């Protein structure tokens, strides 16, 4: 049965186009998964192994037929002054697409996901660079102050208590990037280090870390250093994330199935119609007329989608300026979803009406004989 819910593999460019344009500057994995990743587990952070290490949170990866947990770990940054922007899963209109994390001078958008330990949805509250030295915020990091002295203690109010592990779509985090986060994605940045790639490869090969085996509660949730899966300081999950197998996952769809309309939230998420064959009625003038009508309707519908997207983007920006709480943002996303569904339904009806007008008239195969005059 698992084959019914296997991923559909696409070219990276197709996956790129599938997601909303707000995160277009980031890098994506060329796969689309038909069902949502499990919730994030709850775990403790291992003690920082030494000065200069930066925490990279754990997340659910994909190995071709199952999600697997990539344990969080402490990593040396590739350059002085660089911070880590975590990767994240996001609804892309036809499935869930993973956006890769990266290193850069500024933390960019990571889907509003609350990974904990300073990564509470936007930015990073776990530390900061001061010239060539990294200072740790003790309020969100596990630091041995007898060995590491460059620390400070700033309390962080975290109102984003959700453990949802994906952005957008049905039940996902309702988050939009700020102007600063969008700019960060365009700044110079570098991908995960070789050490991070090692952590991913080791996690992928560990059967215990597969979601279908640990049911959302990985036995190795975080490691003190890269690859230290057997280290005594490696920690298990204290509480598992909600896990639904493909057959029960509300986001699950058979491979090749059309996406459920309820998962479309914004006009940018609406899958574009495939190229339609040119009319062929046998009358070139009529075919040209029909084609012009279709092109006109396509243009009008695209303008309507762009107008609604612009309206929704403006509302998102207003909520960001007002620093709205998660409840208000979720209400806005529900309203946007209703607006988008209404737009889709209206445009579908418009297309059906056009096709009805263009359909050739039907005639009975054997028309009745004309009655004689006078009867």
Q: Is 80 exposed, middle or buried (0-12, 13-18, 19+ CB in 10 A)?
A: exposed
Over residues 56-65, the pLDDT tens digits come to: 999 999 988 8
pLDDT confidence of residue 12: 34
Smallest Cα–Cα separation from 53: which of 24, 73, 33, 37?
73
Per-residue pLDDT for 52 more than 80? yes
Per-residue pLDDT for 209 more than 80? yes
pLDDT confidence of residue 322: 84
The answer to whether the beta carbons of residues 48 and 107 sit under 8 Å apart is no
Positions of E strands within the chain: 8-9, 31-32, 54-56, 59-62, 67-70, 72-75, 83-85, 88-91, 96-99, 102-104, 127-130, 133-137, 151-152, 166-167, 222-223
Q: How confident is the model at residue 86 (pLDDT cuts 50, 70, 90)?
A: very high
H helices of 187-283, in order, are 194-204, 211-214
pLDDT confidence of residue 72: 98
Q: Say how far apart CA 149 and CA 144 lie, in whole Å.
A: 9
Q: Say how far apart CA 75 and CA 84 lie, in whole Å.
A: 10
pTM of the model: 0.63
Per-residue pLDDT for 51 more than 80? yes
Over residues 255-303, the pLDDT tens digits come to: 333 333 345 677 877 766 655 666 777 788 888 888 888 889 888 988 9
Strands 72-75 and 54-56: antiparallel
Instruction: Count the residues in the chain.
Output: 375
């Amino acid at each position: 049965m698992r084959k019914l819910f296997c991923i559909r593999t696409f070219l990276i460019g197709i996956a790129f186009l599938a997601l909303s344009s707000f995160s277009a500057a980031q890098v994506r994995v060329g796969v689309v998964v038909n069902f949502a990743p499990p919730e994030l587990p709850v775990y403790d952070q291992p003690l920082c192994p030494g000065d200069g290490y930066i925490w990279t949170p754990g997340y659910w990866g994909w190995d071709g037929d199952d999600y697997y947990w990539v344990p969080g770990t402490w990593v040396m940054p590739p350059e002085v002054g660089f911070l880590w922007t975590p990767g994240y899963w996001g609804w892309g209109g036809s499935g869930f697409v993973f956006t890769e994390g990266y290193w850069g001078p500024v933390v960019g958008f990571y889907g509003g996901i609350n990974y904990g330990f300073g990564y509470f949805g936007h930015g990073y509250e776990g530390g900061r660079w001061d010239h060539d030295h990294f200072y740790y915020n003790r309020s969100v990091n596990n630091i041995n102050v007898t060995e590491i002295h460059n620390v400070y203690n700033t309390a962080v109010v975290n109102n984003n208590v959700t453990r949802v592990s994906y952005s957008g779509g049905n039940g996902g985090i309702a988050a939009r990037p700020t102007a600063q986060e969008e700019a960060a994605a365009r700044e110079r940045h570098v991908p995960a280090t070789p050490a991070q790639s090692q952590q991913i490869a080791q996690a992928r090969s560990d059967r215990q870390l597969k979601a279908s085996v640990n049911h959302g509660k990985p036995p190795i949730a975080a490691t003190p250093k890269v690859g230290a899966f057997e280290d005594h300081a490696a920690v298990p999950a204290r509480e598992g994330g909600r896990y639904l197998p493909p057959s029960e996952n509300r986001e699950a769809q058979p491979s090749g199935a059309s996406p459920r309309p309820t998962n479309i939230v914004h006009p940018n998420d609406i899958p574009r119609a495939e190229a339609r064959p040119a009319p062929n009625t046998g009358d070139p003038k009529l075919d040209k007329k029909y084609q012009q009508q279709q092109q006109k309707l396509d243009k009008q519908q695209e303008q309507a989608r762009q107008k609604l997207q612009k309206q929704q983007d403006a509302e998102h920006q207003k909520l960001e300026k007002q620093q709205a709480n998660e409840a208000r943002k979720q209400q806005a996303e529900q309203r946007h979803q209703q607006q988008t569904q209404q737009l889709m339904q209206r445009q579908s009806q418009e297309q059906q009406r056009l096709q009805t007008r263009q359909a050739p008239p039907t005639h009975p195969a054997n028309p009745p004989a004309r009655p004689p005059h006078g009867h």
